[in-house]
Structure 1
Amino acid sequence: MKQSRRSFLKTQLALGACMTAGLDVISAPVQAADLSGYKALVCVYLAGGNDSYNMFVPFNASAHADYAAARRFVALPRNQILPIEPATYSDGQAYGFHPSMTQCQNLFGSGDLAVLANVGTLVRPLTKQQYENRAAELPKQLFSHNDQTDSWLAANARGTNGVGWAGQTMDLMYPNGAPQPSPSISIGGNTLWQTGRRVRSFEVGTNGVGSQYLPFHRGPVKLRDTFRLLHQADLQNPNALAKEHAETLDRAEAFGNSINTALESAPEFQFPQGRLADQLKMVANLIAVRDRLDANMNRQVFFVRIGGWDTHDNQVSGDNKHANLLRQVDLGLAAFHNAITSLNVQDSVTCFTATEFGRTVIPNGSGTDHGWGGHSLVLGGAVNGGDIYGQMPDIRVDSGDAVKGGRMIPTTSVDQYSATLARWFGLNQSELARVFPNLGNFSSSDIGFMG
């Protein structure tokens, strides 16, 4: 049986996550990060570029009129917007959520959800004049899906060095080796965000860890038996690389078995059906059984992903794809918050959204194009919710915040957003500077949305 490129890559991704032992390539820091108590971060990645200017919308009459003039046929009618009342933020305007996001409106009202305004990749603060005159350094490959995804997940607009900010954070959290199975788990596939030098992530499916990608569990019996014989031979192989590969296979199988066994005792949580909800339910399950995996699992990072946000067409017409995606986010976040609250860890788990860029305020044929800055959501008991953080942009197409095509220049950097989360997670100021090398270019490393 010929192994497809897709299945080969899945095999390698599943195995590469288990190479924690024996491949330490960085030295331990002088001072370890704060590991007191239990905390978890959950990154909800909206792959493709979310049009957050329709997720969170001007509500008062004059501002909505400006919004409608710019957005034209993708604009939401004012009478459909779900209004909110921020606790402290005031710029003379009123705002509200997309009509598909009734749960987020409620979570904002209860103080569990915050909105981070106009965040995006920046090397340093930037004005419209500097952008138009090319008088300042711009993010690497701005408006490119792949490059901007990496810049977001590494929190470095100058490019990445092959590691993500969660991966680096976990390296600092566990300088002498992490609990096993890994405290860094992805249900959304392989991701740079969790890639570190020491602590590697482990992939789990929405139904647990499948063994079907291990070569001695796939295909006809004769092929499986052949792989098993080769595997046993590699375990005795004097070649270090062959032996390490075989031991990695064993670790992958052992990790998977321990996770699946622990999941058998997970509570029954109520979640809606859907791609995102299924992933968030597995995160809740893994949080619930963490002590059965390792009693020292004081820090965990989880990654989930939902695609479809590259809405170049049919954004509000046809199948109304953007509204359907926002509904999945709304229901998934609410169910996840209910689940972690039932576990009494709502103050210890913070969930946040990320996407490679916003969309253009000016629409194209039936959708929007790649933008720049956009809004994000942060959810959890430790969040100073019920408020807007950062600065809401002026989305008029001729404003000082907008550049070509109605792209909004970010007023808060991904570095600041990520560093605020990492500080709550336990990193000190010197560690923040290591993980976020451009952080010193900005006036504040803490935006204030975490308690």
Structure 2
Amino acid sequence: MNAPTILTDVSRRAFLQRSSLFGVAGVAAPFVTSLGAIGEAAAATASDYKALVCIFLSGGNDHYNTLVPYDPTSHAKYASLRSSLAFSREALAPTVLLPTADMGGRAYALAPAMAPLSPLFDAGRLAVAMNVGTLIQPTTKAQYQNKSVRLPPKLFSHNDQQSFFQASSPEGAGSGWGGRIGDLYQSGNGTAAMTCINASGNAVFLSGRNAIQYNVGTGGPVPLLRNATSLYGSSVAAQTLRQMMTETNPHMFGTEYARINKRAMDTQAQLANSLAGVPESNFSLFPEDNGLADQLRMVARMIAISGDLGTKRQVFFVSMGGFDLHDNLAGNQPRLLTLLSEAMRAFHDTTVALGVADKVTTFTGSDFGRTLPSNGNGCDHGWGSMHFVMGGAVNGKRLYGTAPLVGSGTPDDVGQGRLIPTMSVDQYASTLARWFGVSDGDMSTVLPNIGNYDKSSWGQGFV
């Protein structure tokens, strides 16, 4: 039998992904090569523009001091279990949330540092998703204690729970649900490489089975070959290197590598040119000295040129770290929440100014929540957490899901105030995916555990 002369599409992509180890021109080469894994097929089309923006709070944000119990009964229990960390009701009074739906006597307030987001909640542009976390299937306290249900592996582990939140799989996952959404839309999505865009470095959330995340810096596209016009002082040498990287080759691997390099260079040039055409004054609302704001500013710039790129669907990822506060929580978390809320508010207001607020939905994620009792100066790894969804299409001024009881040994508490999630990440994500245009028929492709939940719970209603 003759040796095969062509690669299957799957093996070709696998080769190209691995071949990044042998790239040309140092740090630019893995990025150049990774674009070769962009597939050709897609299961969805779109005529309007929509963007999903994930803000990931790495380290496990303490939700108890982010969305704080405010009604007298709940606040008293909260304060008694974390006396060194608790906000007083007086300090919380300016940021009390007044939702449109009756909470049965329960009340919450935003942390004082999150005051910039209060007007968005009041205006119906911000919603709260209650007790969200990693699950494989619906789980009760008795089932957890009896070990009678499947649970996410290595609960309370940073790496595994970050991965499970982003990918529905533990550390080592090959794709995330943001990337799998991108798989459905990249074909015919204008500049296909602009479907999944990471302004934070790299994250499994945006890796698809075909779609590859495009990394951008806060100042624009990654400069391929460092935008060099000369090599060892010679412009001819630089031109020769570019020619070598993009010229056809009699070997099929060489030809494919050259095609990838050319596409990467063309995409980088197209993106840089489009960004240069948008006035900087359009993005003046973002605060200085705020790394998350810098990332979201870049996302806003990318959204502003989506028409030039021909993209109809985009998924973005940004992040900030520092939330693993086993100590000095009272000093550090307010600073982090100030940066978070100022960046989110500036991003929202910029989308309003750009006329796309109803086309952009932003949501938060994190490894997990944290324990209710203080360890003295901070708190330890938890499970369920509270998250925010923001945008013009959001059904805001509401708290969605089941409000957990505050206290020790409650039906939600598996120990130390660690909450069993009552809204799985899959249910949270399915609501966002539906708004984005993902059909129910494609939902299990994006969220492999969603079939374990009643279909009526796939859309939680917040967008």
- The answer as to 2:412 corresponding to 1:398 is no
Q: In the alignment, which residue of structure 1 is the partner of 2:308?
A: 292
Q: In the alignment, which residue of structure 2 is the partner of 1:3?
A: none
Q: In the alignment, which residue of structure 2 is the partner of 1:4?
A: none
CA separation of 1:48/1:161 partners in 2, compared to 1, >3 Å: closer, same or farther? closer
* Residue pair 2:189, 2:313 contacting (<8 A) in 1 also: no
Classify the secondary structure of the residue corresponding to 2:194: coil
| TM-score under structure 1 length normalisation | 0.89
Number of residue-to-residue matches in the alignment? 433
Within 5 Å, give how 1:95-134 maps onto structure 2. Answer: 95-134=108-147
CA separation of 1:365/1:137 partners in 2, compared to 1, >3 Å: closer, same or farther? same
Query: What is the CA-CA distance between 1:325 and the residue it aligns to?
Result: 0.8
1:282 paired residue among 287, 298, 302: 298
* Residue pair 1:140, 1:159 contacting (<8 A) in 2 also: no
Q: In the alignment, which residue of structure 2 is the partner of 1:19?
A: 36
Query: What is the CA-CA distance between 1:225 and the residue it aligns to?
Result: 7.9
1:253 paired residue among 254, 260, 265: 265
The structure with the greater share of residues assigned to helix is: 2
Structure 2 distance, partners of 1:183, 1:88, is 36
Query: What is the CA-CA distance between 1:16 and the residue it aligns to?
Result: 4.5
Structure 1 distance, partners of 2:347, 2:190, is 26
User: What code does the residue aligned with 2:442 have?
Assistant: E
Q: In the alignment, which residue of structure 1 is the partner of 2:323?
A: 309
* Residue pair 2:190, 2:312 contacting (<8 A) in 1 also: no
Query: What is the CA-CA distance between 1:293 and the residue it aligns to?
Result: 2.2
CA-based RMSD: 2.7
Query: What is the CA-CA distance between 1:329 and the residue it aligns to?
Result: 1.1
User: What code does the residue aligned with 1:275 have?
Assistant: G
Within 5 Å, give how 1:11-410 maps onto structure 2. Answer: 11=28, 14-20=31-37, 24=40, 28-29=42-43, 32-33=44-45, 35-81=46-92, 82-154=95-167, 156=168, 161-175=173-187, 179-211=191-223, 214=225, 217=228, 221=232, 229=240, 232-233=243-244, 235-267=247-279, 268=281, 269=283, 270-273=285-288, 274-294=290-310, 297-316=311-330, 320-410=331-421
Over residues 187-229 of structure 1, what are the superposed CA-to-partner deviations in whole Å (9 max), with x where a residue is unaligned?
Answer: 1111211111333221111111241x63784997279987875
% same residue: 40
Query: Which runs of 5 or more structure 2 residues have no equivalent in the other structure?
Result: 1-23
Query: What is the CA-CA distance between 1:364 and the residue it aligns to?
Result: 2.1
Query: What is the CA-CA distance between 1:233 and the residue it aligns to?
Result: 3.7
* Residue pair 1:360, 1:371 contacting (<8 A) in 2 also: yes
| TM-score under structure 2 length normalisation | 0.86
Structure 1 distance, partners of 2:229, 2:428, is 42
Classify the secondary structure of the residue corresponding to 1:188: coil
Classify the secondary structure of the residue corresponding to 1:300: strand
User: What code does the residue aligned with 1:118 have?
Assistant: N
Over residues 57-108 of structure 1, what are the superposed CA-to-partner deviations in whole Å (9 max), with x where a residue is unaligned?
Answer: 1112221010111223121222111201111141321110000011111111
Classify the secondary structure of the residue corresponding to 1:351: strand
Classify the secondary structure of the residue corresponding to 2:277: coil
Over residues 347-373 of structure 1, what are the superposed CA-to-partner deviations in whole Å (9 max), with x where a residue is unaligned?
Answer: 111011111111111222421221111
* Residue pair 1:68, 1:75 contacting (<8 A) in 2 also: yes
Structure 2 distance, partners of 1:187, 1:301, is 11
Query: What is the CA-CA distance between 1:236 and the residue it aligns to?
Result: 4.0
Structure 2 distance, partners of 1:178, 1:40, is 14
1:431 paired residue among 433, 442, 445: 442
Structure 2 distance, partners of 1:177, 1:277, is 27
* Residue pair 1:416, 1:439 contacting (<8 A) in 2 also: yes
User: What code does the residue aligned with 1:15 have?
Assistant: V
Structure 2 distance, partners of 1:397, 1:225, is 72
